[in-house]
Amino acid sequence: MQTAITSSRARTAHVCGVGAITHPHAHPHPPIHLPTMVAGYIIDYANSVRRRRAGPDASGKDPNHEIEHNFVLCHTLHPLTKLLFWVTNVPYWGLCYVIVERSLGNRLGESLVLECLKPLCANSHVHGVCVFVIAVASTSFHGFQLELDKQLSNQCGCLIGFTGFKMHKRKEDDAPDGMSLSTRSSSSSGRTYYPKPTPSRKRLIKKLLLCDVLCANVYVAFLMTCASLVQVLKVSVLPIACMFIAAQAKRKQAYTTYVLFHSLWHLGSAWAIYKAFGDERNEKVL
C-alpha cells in the first residue's frame, strides 16, 4: 500500500512538470534562501505577495530566488568582465584613505539627537575603519562569487604553487543533497544546468554575503545619525536605483546588465558616502 502511494506521488510530480531533481537522501525540509542584498529581499517579498494575490491555486513561494543566481553567473561571464566588475570595489578602498587623510569626520557631529555619539561621529578614524570593513566584505564576497580564486589558480598557480583556497569540509558534505543547480532558459526543457558548487563553497558565499549586507547597512544607519538624514537620502537615490535594477536583472538571468548596474552601485555608493559628509565649508574650525 505504501509503495503504491509513493508511486502515485511520483507520477503526480512528473505530470505537474516541476522539473526538480530529488534524491531519497535529500533533506525533507526546504532550503533557506538568503537575499543577496536588501533589494533582493524586497523583490523576493513583493513577488511572493503578487503570487499569493494571483489566486488560490498560486503558491506564495517564489522558485526563482536570487541567491541561486550567484552560483551561475560565474559560469556565464567572460573572465575579463568578472575582473573589471571586481575592480569596481576599489573606490571603497580609496574612500578609506580620503576619510582619514582629509579628516572628513570633522564635518559631522554638530547637531545630534544622541549626544553620546558625538565623539564617534566626529572621529575620522572610526568612519575610515567602517568603510574599510565594507571594502573587505564587498571585495571578498564578489571575489568568491565570481570564483576569481579559481581563475587565479588556473592562470598563475603553476608559477607560485597556488591551488585555490581550501574550505572546511563537513562530514555531511559527502552526502548527496539531490539538487542540480539550474535556471530557466529558452531550451526545450526550460532549464539550463550548470556545474554545482560544493556545499562548503555555498556556505562560504552565503556567509560573506550576509557580512557584506550587514556591514553596509549598519554603517549607513550610523552615518544617518551623524549626518543630515535628508542629505544622505538625497545622494543615495541613484545608487539605490542601480542596486534594485541590478537585483532584478540577476533574477532575469541578464547577468551582464547585473554587472553593469551593480558596478554603478559600487561607484555610486562610495560617492554617496563621501557626499554625506557634506561640503568643506561645513567643516568645523578647530
Q: Is residue 51 part of a domain?
A: no
Query: The domain containing residue 128 runs over which residues?
Result: 78-165+207-279
pLDDT of residue 88: 97
pLDDT of residue 69: 84
Domain count, the chain: 1
Beta carbons of 216 and 184 less than 8 angstroms apart: no
The parts of the chain modelled with pLDDT lower than 70 are 1-66, 109, 111-114, 155-193, 280-286
Q: Is residue 263 part of a domain?
A: yes
Q: Is residue 83 part of a domain?
A: yes
Exposed/middle/buried for 213, CB within 10 Å: 0-12, 13-18, 19+? Answer: buried
Give the bridge partners for 193, in sequence order: 182
Between CA 104 and CA 279 the distance in angstroms is: 9
Q: Is residue 91 part of a domain?
A: yes
| Angle subtended at Cα 230 by Cα 229 and Cα 236, rounded to the nearest 5 degrees | 90
Q: List, for residues 23-79, the tens digit of each pLDDT value.
A: 334 444 333 343 445 565 565 556 666 556 665 555 545 555 667 888 888 899 999
Q: Is residue 23 part of a domain?
A: no
Exposed/middle/buried for 33, CB within 10 Å: 0-12, 13-18, 19+? Answer: middle
pLDDT of residue 173: 44
Between CA 93 and CA 133 the distance in angstroms is: 10
Q: Is residue 249 part of a domain?
A: yes
Beta carbons of 177 and 23 less than 8 angstroms apart: yes
b/e 223-234 (16+ beta carbons within 10 angstroms → b): bbebbeeebbee
